[in-house]
Amino acid sequence: MFVSSSYCQSALARRFWSKFVLFSSLALAHVATASSTGQPLDFREAIARAELDAPGVTARAAAVSAASARVGPAGELPDPELLVGIDNLPVTGSDAFEWNRDFMTMRKIGVMQALPRREKRALRRERAEADSAKERALLLTTQLSTRESVARAWTTVANAERRLVLGLSMRAQADAMVCAATAAISAGRGSTADAIAAQQARVALEDRIAAIQLARDRARIALARWLPNDAERPIGKSPNWREVPVGGLSDPDRIAAHRELHAYEAIARAARTDIALARAEKRSDWSVELAYADRGPHLSSMLSVQFRVGLPLFAASRQDPLIAANEAVLLQIESEREAAAREHRAELVQMEAIWRASVDRADRYEQQLLPLGDERIEAALASYRGGSGALQDVLTAFDAAIEQRLAYIDVMDSLGESWAALRFAFPEGN
């Protein structure tokens, strides 16, 4: 049940190296696990690789290509139509179904071309351009959303590794506590219950480390969704989460550039074009038909030209309702955009508040709380070794130090997540 003196001597060396690893990890923001292999996965590299391989981004890029390809044909004239047929074929009498006996029967071949108004063709092209702009905006939205998701996943792994380092750094202090309890028994000052309590605290620490390792493994599995071939690589240095371009979040023009609002202008433009197209349907289109007719061996052939003009005479029951419907769609889009702008403005202001608070709290933990927690353990352990303190004070200080380390990583989680949300809410340069 109790530890040997050689174990306690080696614990002093482990304690020194544990301190070294702890402060190195806080300075560097993250260290890789010993089991990981390969080159460190840099944050920017993770973003670039994930975006390059993300199926959602690939799908949106294909949609952009498709929408862009539709722009040119949208403003062109319709294809001409070939006309082939027989006019004035007898169906009764002795010449029934004879195509070359009656002088009025003609075999006809020709071509017909619809000629929509130039205004309509221009509006159809503009509508296709609006669809293309919408797809480009949605591609940008997907890219930024992917970057944020990868940043969150990468940050979760980084902090899980950091949490593991902080947990492992407590082993030396747990060993020192066990050794102190064993030495107290040898000196006739301690009790068996104290030694058991110290051993329990040591085992409980190992259980917490096992839970931290499980959380780290789950975080890497989540990262593998975005980086299936790189999720097991060591995590490189974290970006500076204390710097992010924020400010001006109450400015409507800045909020309008939010990635989730980026496509609304193109969607509204398409709706306005639909209104213009519906109104243009009140003005007539026309078509022309040119045909050649053969009437038989002893009869002259014929050439005919026809013009057709649409007659939008019932606009009140046809075009006007469509105009009203498209105007309602535009109102819906503008209202949805305003609702989304208010929602995202509130989210960003809240996220900025979380980020600022997390920066302050992380500094407080690194500069005050974590060092003070270690000093408390040192002081309680020294008092216990000297016979003037109780082991319960050491256990209390030890548990508090563990909780402080876990709380610190929770703060770092909030810092990284809020940083990613603010960093990738807007396109570059906005």
- pLDDT at position 246: 64
> What is the average pLDDT across 4-26?
44
> What is the average pLDDT across 73-85?
92
Residue 249 has pLDDT above 90, yes or no: no
Q: Using one digit for the tens of pLDDT, what is the confidence trace for 183-213?
A: 888 777 767 888 888 888 889 889 989 999 9
- Which has the closest alpha carbon to 155: 89, 107, 216, 106? 216
Task: Please list, residue by residue across 280-315, b when 16 or more beta carbons sit within 10 angstroms of its beta carbon and e when fewer do.
Answer: bbeeeeebebebebbbbeeeeeeeeeeeeeeeeeee
Q: Is 166 exposed, middle or buried (0-12, 13-18, 19+ CB in 10 A)?
A: buried
Residue 309 has pLDDT above 60, yes or no: yes
- Positive or negative, the CA dihedral 314, 316, 321, 324 is positive
Residue 429 has pLDDT above 60, yes or no: no
Q: CB of 351 within 8 A of CB of 418?
A: yes
Residue 296 has pLDDT above 80, yes or no: no
- pLDDT at position 96: 80
- pLDDT at position 166: 85
- pLDDT at position 335: 96
- pLDDT at position 245: 66
Residue 248 has pLDDT above 60, yes or no: yes
User: What distance in Å separates the CA atoms of residue 32 and residue 158, rounded to the nearest whole number?
Assistant: 8
> What is the average pLDDT across 84-99?
83
Higher-pLDDT residue of 95, 317: 317
Residue 10 has pLDDT above 70, yes or no: no
Q: Using one digit for the tens of pLDDT, what is the confidence trace for 381-406?
A: 888 888 778 888 888 888 888 888 88
Q: CB of 235 within 8 A of CB of 161?
A: yes
Largest Cα–Cα separation, the chain:
138
- pLDDT at position 25: 44
Residue 9 has pLDDT above 60, yes or no: no
- The rounded percent of the chain whose pLDDT value lies above 90 is 47
Residue 262 has pLDDT above 70, yes or no: yes
- The rounded percent of the chain whose pLDDT value lies above 70 is 89
> What is the average pLDDT across 168-173?
86
Neighbours of 366 (CB within 10 A): 16
Q: Using one digit for the tens of pLDDT, what is the confidence trace for 114-167?
A: 999 999 999 999 999 999 999 999 999 999 999 999 999 999 999 999 889 888
The model's pTM: 0.78
- Which has the closest alpha carbon to 412: 347, 348, 355, 352? 355
- pLDDT at position 172: 86
Residue 17 has pLDDT above 80, yes or no: no
Average pLDDT, whole number, for the chain? 85
Contacts 24+ apart (CB under 8 A), 391-399: 391/177, 391/180, 391/181, 391/184, 391/190, 391/194, 391/197, 391/198, 392/197, 394/177, 394/180, 394/198, 395/177, 395/197, 395/198, 395/201, 397/373, 398/170, 398/173, 398/174, 398/177, 398/201, 399/201
> What is the average pLDDT across 213-225?
93
> What is the average pLDDT across 339-357?
91
